[in-house]
Amino acid sequence: MVNKTCQVFFKLLLWVTAVTACQTPPTPTPTIATSTGAAISQAIETPLPPPTGYPPAASQPAASAVPNSYPVGSPTATAERIFTPMPLAPAGSSELFLPFVQGPAAPTATLVPPTATPSPTPIPTVDFTAVRNELAAQGLALAPVKIGFHTGIGGNSAGLEEWMRALDAAGIPFFLKSVDNAQPLFFAQELMKQSGVPHVLVYRKAAGGNENYDWDVPNYALPAEQAAEIHWQKHRDAFPPELDPSLVWLETVNEIDKNVAEWLGQFALKTAELAMNDGFRWAAFGWASGEPEPEHWQTPSMLAFLRLAGDNPDKLAIALHEYSYVLDNIGDQYPYKIGRFQRLFQIADEYGIPRPTVLITEWGWVYQEVPSPAQAIQDIAWASRLYAPYPQVKGAAIWFLGGGFGEIANLAQQLIEPVTDYSLQNYFTAPLLPAQAPIQPETTQP
């Protein structure tokens, strides 16, 4: 009897326990965290904004006559997703809580990975071959945009190779100078070998390890010919072996003393002889902006060198620097700073000397800044029109993508893309050789 009673009691106890186990307290309603600590537990995923292209700010004035730059892709519409943290189940509960993802009823747009960037719309490019042929039938020559870049070691040259590739593919000769860094010139040289486009490349050495030697100027205390031999040998021996001296111009002096013009003429004559004998293309002088004075071109030795250069336009050149020295006025004192090359051509014409090849190996505004891209392109458009009628002016290199000189490398780098765009969409005309454009500075006022 006791055993039967115990068995009944035990079964009754099991039944009650099982019923109790199947019941659970009401599920607590999740609440949105309001404190800072709780808010951290909520992950809010929003897409990154797309990168901004040129121009960097809408407030910058746009040049009405300048083509638009690469368009920026429109942001992709995305839905905000809120992840609600999982509530904790009461102790002893057998229920399992899963995370709940709350989204809009409408279809959710596909999220774009943060690393994806919109592909630029291809730039409409002038068919330069067709235009060149059309102009030739009219007795005119096509003159492309001649503004290029000056680079060196360090700095910021991002996009420079893309600029080279784009112009090379369009058949446009570009102008590039590099100091102490052969890599960009080697890249350009190999492009030129493959395409046959006659790019204009200039190398200059400015520093030489532990050597205590002034690479910029010769030793004025020596006789001119002796100084030329020493200075040429130094630069020739330091010329990067990967560069082809028959394709890359070598510039060996920089912003020299105009007050010793006759000595410099003798120095240039001897250096020219040595350079041509060694199979180099040599660019002489590297005059500072606003120099030299007209009388400095007219000493006996200087006139003799100008005649030699005029007779050898593919082997000898005059290197000039043209700066405005004013950030917001590219035409300041025109044509005495930018545009000064015209005085050289006037003197050559007066003496019956063929106009020599001119390489403007430094060009720009001031040594630590360039204007905003919008303003810079307006200035570049004017300078392009100025240089276009003169085929002897092979190009001008915007200062400066290399290291040092404040933040100019980062500022000048912002010009690579708009200069590419402008160069692919614009051209000018020039007289078909042997005809020559007259020297009329007043017709190209900025």
Q: What is the CATH number of the domain that holds 176?
A: 3.20.20
Longest dimension (CA), the chain: 144
Domain count, the chain: 1
Cα–Cα distance, 437 to 343 (Å, whole number): 14
- Count CA atoms within 13 Å of residue 398 on its CB side: 31
- Residues 6+ away with beta carbon under 8 Å from 375: 60, 61, 63, 328
- Residues 6+ away with beta carbon under 8 Å from 63: 374, 375, 377, 378, 381
Residue 35 is assigned to a structural domain of this protein: no
418 φ/ψ angles, rounded to the nearest 5 degrees:
-65, -30
- For 7, the token pair is 């068995």
pLDDT in the model for residue 209? 67
Residue 232 is assigned to a structural domain of this protein: yes
Sheet with 43-45, edge to edge strand ranges: 43-45, 81-84, 100-102
For residue 8, which amino acid is it? V
Taking alpha carbons only, the member of 194, 162, 170 closest to residue 70 is: 162
Low-confidence ranges of the chain (pLDDT < 50): 1-118
- Count CA atoms within 13 Å of residue 219 on its CB side: 14
Cα–Cα distance, 319 to 341 (Å, whole number): 10
Residue by residue, DSSP assigns 72-124 as: PPPPPP---EEEEPPPPPPTT-------EEE--SSPPPPPPPTT--PPPPPPP
For residue 75, which amino acid is it? P
Residue 252 is assigned to a structural domain of this protein: yes
- Residues 6+ away with beta carbon under 8 Å from 104: 79
Residue 158 is assigned to a structural domain of this protein: yes
CB 305 within 8 A of CB 273: no
Cα–Cα distance, 160 to 47 (Å, whole number): 30
pLDDT in the model for residue 208? 77
pLDDT in the model for residue 120? 54
Range of the domain at 269: 144-434
pLDDT in the model for residue 124? 80
Cα–Cα distance, 109 to 79 (Å, whole number): 6
How do beta strands 175-179 and 147-151 pair? parallel
pLDDT per residue as tens digits for the range 282-321: 999 999 999 999 999 999 999 999 999 999 999 999 999 9
Residue 103 is assigned to a structural domain of this protein: no
pLDDT in the model for residue 59? 35
- Residues 6+ away with beta carbon under 8 Å from 134: none
Residue 425 is assigned to a structural domain of this protein: yes
First-to-final CA distance of the chain: 122
pLDDT in the model for residue 100? 33
Residue 288 is assigned to a structural domain of this protein: yes
DSSP classification of residue 240: -
Cα torsion 188, 193, 194, 198: sign: positive
Residue 209 is assigned to a structural domain of this protein: yes
